[in-house]
A and B are shown apart, each in its own frame.
Chain A
């Protein structure tokens, strides 16, 4: 299947881009929480 590289490439690019952003968002939140108190985080 000649198209497989393009098809899988599209899926892989999507997963990697969104996954990397999700990991960055979680790590950024965790790092910032180190400098915050419980009152600063009403969702906890």
Chain B
């Protein structure tokens, strides 16, 4: 059997197949099997992609912060922590963007407008901009260790925005509704099939996140390796020029 080229393994291939199956099931439950909401009608179907998107973004940014803290705290600092942090932040940015766009479309149906400068929407947009900045900082010049250190510090500051975004609907008067499921209590006012579809979305998107982060952090490992090799070759060429 020829070895696999790229970032895949048999395990990620199996996980990828599971993710695809979960996403197909989500589409069936979200668009076909579950019924319309009493108040929001058919537009509630946007919830099955909107809520899992911001859920994954939260997870991604928390993983970025945890890996950044691990990188800064370890005596033997492995760049693997930094690469997982970078991969996770990139995926988080993607899902915040998806959440903002789908939320905007849902808002047009629910509130009659695509955007209002509401606490939840504004803080989420600010979260998106912050992590785009984090990704930009990762691309600044310097060594891989310098990149890892400065982005880790930034990630530990940026994570403070997550509670601000999550609790913004309680802290300020907001057009955005409060949490329906994650209320801290056991009393959930949602139809059984709708609740199942929502949880299916959370599970499917979380599995998708794991699959993406596995591939992307391996890609970042290869990027660093290829960059190192290019630098080594450039140094050797310069030395031979100097000797010649």
Contact = CB atoms under 8 A, between A and B. Distances in A.
Interface string A2-38: 0110110111011001100110011011101111101
B94 A17 contact: yes
B109 A6 contact: yes
Contacts of B215: 22, 25-26, 29
A14 to B, nearest CB: 4
Given A3-B42, A7-B46, A10-B106, A38 B3 contact: yes
Contacts of B35: none
Contacts of A9: 105
Residue among A6, A10, A17, A35 with the highest chain B CB neighbour number at 10 A: A10
A32 B49 contact: no
B190 to A, nearest CB: 18
Main secondary structure of the interface of A (DSSP, over half): helix
B133 interface: no
Interface in B215-243: 215-216, 218-219, 221-223, 225-226, 229
A7 B48 CA distance: 10
A35 B219 CA distance: 12
Given A11-B45, A17-B98, 10 more contacts: A1-B42, A6-B109, A10-B102, A11-B30, A11-B31, A18-B208, A25-B216, A29-B215, A33-B5, A43-B218
